[in-house]
Amino acid sequence: MRPIFRRRFRRLLWMPLVMAAACIRPGAPPATTPQQSPDPSDITGEAWRWADSAASRMTLEGKVGQLFMPAVYASADGATLRLLRGYVADCHVGGIVLLKGTLEEAALLADTLASMSPTGLFIAIDAEWGLSMRLDGAPEFPDNSRLGATADELMMYDYGREMARECRLTGINMLLGPVVDVVESRRSVIGRRSFGANPHRVADLAVAYARGVESGGVLSVAKHFPGHGSPAVDSHKQLPVIERGWEALDSIDLYPFRRYIEAGLSGVMVGHLAVSAVDTLRRPAAMSPPVVSGLLIGRMGFRGLVLTDALNMGGAAGYEAWRALEAGADIVVAPAATGGAVASTLEALRDGTLSIESVERACRKVLFYKYLIGVNKRRPHDRSGLAGDVASPEAADVQRRLLSE
């Protein structure tokens, strides 16, 4: 992209992000100049006040539940609906992650959940190259490794906007992506999920995509901190160990995350990776205070939502869910047994192993983000003709552009 067009693109890019980018990092400077937009602190103040008010009415059990997001299949059968009602009524969960299913049933679940919780729920999906990765009936997009050579920031921004449109139509408000892992070797287990081997290009494409997602009113979540690009070991099965020195880790793996944080974007997912340069005890990153509180929050200054990777993965085996909250996470994703994980967290609070302040802080932040994207105000919608609305001419145009050489 030539410099003059890059400057013009940046001006256009920031304009729709006044609410998203300026509010996503509480306390961050606004994304635009005062001449371009109103002071965004008004909406953040309003969001914090609502979060404080909502939290003040919650029991300790309710506050703990807000920090859990179990995974469920996108199926509207009786068993799934009963499971969801139990998650909300008994565990007070703050959201769910949708697994495989259909577009229509995902929308039905989202509408059903909208009436279950007074604070609303995050409806998240792990759809790294489009909703079709999880939901039948959704438009198909190329995986990140197959993007055409002409893919640039403007194209990725439009792709993110399209993804947000499809998510909103389906009732989804959080996208577990983009993948910002830098893959330098064919041995990497991340493989085609990555934008490539150049950390600068990975950052350019991923940040532009995430800006598009968030300008469309959906939260983005960059993953898998502090970088899953180098290990050949699959953290779904066991714990990978990253032996990189600090210099390589900082210049390669952390670079796209740093750019994402500087852009004021909303979420980071911490992986199940042992990083010896940061934590000499080699704990999974999501369970490691030096990685989460020390590096991501302390050294890199991230103030958005910190999510774990799924706790039912082999890389997190042997660790209680509350350990992630102790390390600095705000949301625990997909524990193997949600009820048991919530109960053990409450026990850790009661015996003083886990501080109540950490839960209060995380709950307040979760509620803050819910207010920002209107989760608390969402109501069921008419979903007739959903597949046709999602598979629109806009989707077809993005598909064509992403595959162009």
Question: Of the residues 200, 236, 382, 397, which is catalytic?
Answer: 236
As a three-state string, the secondary structure of the chain is CCHHHHHHHHHHHHHHHHHHHHHHCCCCCCCCCCCCCCCCHHHHHHHHHHHHHHHHCCCHHHHHHCCEECEEEECCCHHHHHHHHHHHHHHCCCEEEEEEEEHHHHHHHHHHHHCCCCCCCEEEECCECEHHHCEECCCCCCCHHHCCCCCCHHHHHHHHHHHHHHHHHHCCCEECCCECCCCCCCCCCCHHHCCCCCHHHHHHHHHHHHHHHHHCCCEEEEEEECCCCCCCCCCCCCCCEECCCHHHHHHHHHHHHHHHHHCCCCEEEECCCEECCCCCCCCEHHHCHHHHHHHHHHHCCCCCEEEECCCCCHHHCCCCHHHHHHHCCCEEECCCCHHHHHHHHHHHHHCCCCCHHHHHHHHHHHHHHHHHCCHHHCCCCCCCCHHHHHCCHHHHHHHHHHHCC
Q: Has 381 been annotated as catalytic? A: no
Question: Of the residues 309, 330, 351, 381, which is catalytic?
Answer: 309
301 neighbors 294 (Cβ within 8 angstroms): no
Distance CA 80, CA 96 (A): 12
Q: Has 42 been annotated as catalytic? A: no
For residue 235, give Cα distances in angstroms to 96, 132, 190, 373, 387. Answer: 21, 23, 10, 31, 34
- Axis-axis angle for helices 356-372, 41-56 (nearest 10): 130
Q: Which two tokens stand for residue 380?
A: 């069921």
User: Which position has the token pair 């992506």?
Assistant: 177
Residue 200 amino acid letter: H
Q: Count Cβ atoms within 10 A of the Cβ of residue 306 and give its class: 0-12 exposed, 13-18 middle, 19 or more buried.
A: buried
Q: Which residues are annotated as catalytic? A: 236, 309
